[in-house]
Amino acid sequence: MRRVASPDGHRITGSCTSVFLRGQSPRAPETSSPFPSPTPPASTCSPILPRRTSQCAGPQPETPGTVGRLTRAASGPPKSTPTSPRPSHWVCRFCVSDPEPIEQAPLIAVVGATASGKTGLSLELARRLDGEVINADSMQLYRGMDIGTAKVTPEQAQGTPHHMIDLLHVTEEASVADYQTQARGAVAEVRSRGRTPILVGGSGLYVRSALDVIEFPPTDPQLRAQIQAQLEEEGVVALREELREADPETASAIKDERRLVRALEVIRLTGRTFTSFMPQRVYEPNLKPVVQLGLRVDRPLLHERISARVHQMRQSGLLEEVRDLEAEGLRSGRTASAAIGYHQFLRVVDGLQTEEEAVQDTIVATRRFARRQETWFRADPRITWLDAPDAQLGDYAMEAIRRQTG
């Protein structure tokens, strides 16, 4: 069983990685929900899969009960009467009567730098493709880190189901290996409902872990603690030199101490370089078909968008959010406390800088992070790049999906 987050921040047990959006309430079996049912209306087909029948027989009956915030559909034959024929090349997931295997819904990944418009495009594609969104932003895994991560709001989502958000307390360590298991489970669950999974985020390794064949190096908490103690005793220079001698490629790429400790842990534990565990650009076979869409924004415009976003975060109450999380133990969370925006505004809480200085530092750090994101994603030749923003961005994205999935 995987643990999923409820609106009040507590974990509940279930087989689904779905979570409620902030401000929403769980649905009791007998009541209506602000979120759409995974079962389509009787008169509509969801254009997801290649057509095998000539008419839609409608949805299967729904069994009361919820998993996360999504209603389970009962098994069994369709009960409603046939509706008018649909276009010959599409079929509703609920009315496939042909025993032949059929192609599953494509997994759409929307990637790119922060503030490039990924959330907006993912929501538009979810509406057009009867989709559900799966988060691939490592910081949006944390409960309460809402404003500073630009987490989608219920008003933005307009009922679109979202998965893989609000799963961790700020004191917990995010694990890309755990994320891989849960995200792939979410993809399978979305497809089982006949809907389209839409992965969206800018955390490059998390995206790769969800999509690609990847081997994760082992961990040893005791060894990691020893390296951390060595870092505090000898300083970062000595450990960087050790990494440079053992794995020059990784040493040139790693900038922060947390990843430095992890790279040395892997080297000492396995005798292999950290680089050797990096995934090849090969999609996990069970996930195909996969379509990656990247959003490309001119650098000056992206800088403007980042600045505007950070100022909006301040106005929306980022400092108050950081104060609330500090009371929850944010400082003891090695990953969460280092998140851009939260690290800077903790210094405001400590009286080490003004709020305006924290805003400017956050803007600079976010722009640097965006450059690293662009470098990471541009190295992947499988990504189809779309210029953004654009009034017809959704149309261009749909055309790219059609070209790649036939």
Helix, strand counts (H, E) of the chain: 13, 11
Give the contacts of 120 (CB within 8 A, at least 6 positions apart).
none
- Structure-token pair, residue 217: 């190096």
Whether 75 is covered by a domain: the verdict is no
Is the domain of 245 the same as that of 137?
no
Q: Is 152 helix (H, G, I), strand (E, B) or coil?
A: coil
Domain boundary among 277, 306, 321: 277
Is the domain of 320 the same as that of 369?
yes
Is the domain of 255 the same as that of 146?
no
pLDDT in tens, the chain (406 residues): 333 333 333 332 333 444 434 334 333 333 333 334 343 333 333 333 333 333 333 333 333 332 233 322 333 333 333 333 333 333 344 444 444 445 799 999 999 999 999 999 999 999 999 999 999 999 999 999 999 999 999 999 999 999 999 999 999 999 999 999 999 999 999 999 999 999 999 999 999 999 999 888 888 999 999 999 999 999 999 999 999 999 999 999 888 898 999 999 999 999 999 888 877 899 999 999 999 999 999 999 999 999 999 999 999 999 999 999 999 999 999 999 999 999 999 999 999 999 999 999 999 999 999 999 999 999 999 999 999 999 999 999 999 999 999 8
Cα pseudo-dihedral 334, 338, 339, 341, rounded to 10: 140
Is the domain of 199 the same as that of 124?
yes
- Structure-token pair, residue 90: 């599409």
Q: Is 52 helix (H, G, I), strand (E, B) or coil?
A: coil
**Binding site residues for substrate, as ranges?**
114-119
DSSP label of 138:
G
**Binding site residues for ATP, as ranges?**
112-119
- Structure-token pair, residue 395: 């149309």
Is the domain of 116 the same as that of 248?
no
Is the domain of 135 the same as that of 235?
no
Interval 395-404: pLDDT, tens: 999 999 999 9
- Structure-token pair, residue 304: 């403007």
Is the domain of 314 the same as that of 240?
no
Contact 234, 245 (CB under 8 A): no
Domain boundary among 236, 253, 277: 277
Whether 294 is covered by a domain: the verdict is yes
Structural domains counted in the chain: 2
DSSP label of 193:
T
Is the domain of 226 the same as that of 121?
no
Is the domain of 354 the same as that of 317?
yes
User: Which residue's structure tokens are 């503030």?
Assistant: 115
**Helices of type H across 193-235:** 204-211, 221-234
Is the domain of 336 the same as that of 298?
yes
**CATH number (domain holding residue 161):** 3.40.50.300
Burial call 209-238: b when 16+ CB within 10 Å, e when fewer: bbbbebeebeeeeebbeebbeebeeeeeee
Distances in Å between the alpha carbon of 268 and those of 151, 221, 387? 37, 13, 44
Residues in the chain: 406
Is the domain of 183 the same as that of 314?
yes
Interval 82-140: pLDDT, tens: 333 333 333 344 444 444 445 799 999 999 999 999 999 999 999 999 999 999 999 99
**CATH number (domain holding residue 264):** 1.10.20.140
**Binding site residues, as ranges?**
112-119
Whether 160 is covered by a domain: the verdict is yes
Claim: this prediction has a pTM higher than 0.75: no
Quickly count: other Cβ atoms within 10 Å of residue 57's Cβ: 20
Phi, psi angle pair for 5, to nearest 5° = -90, 140
The domain of 240 spans 221-277
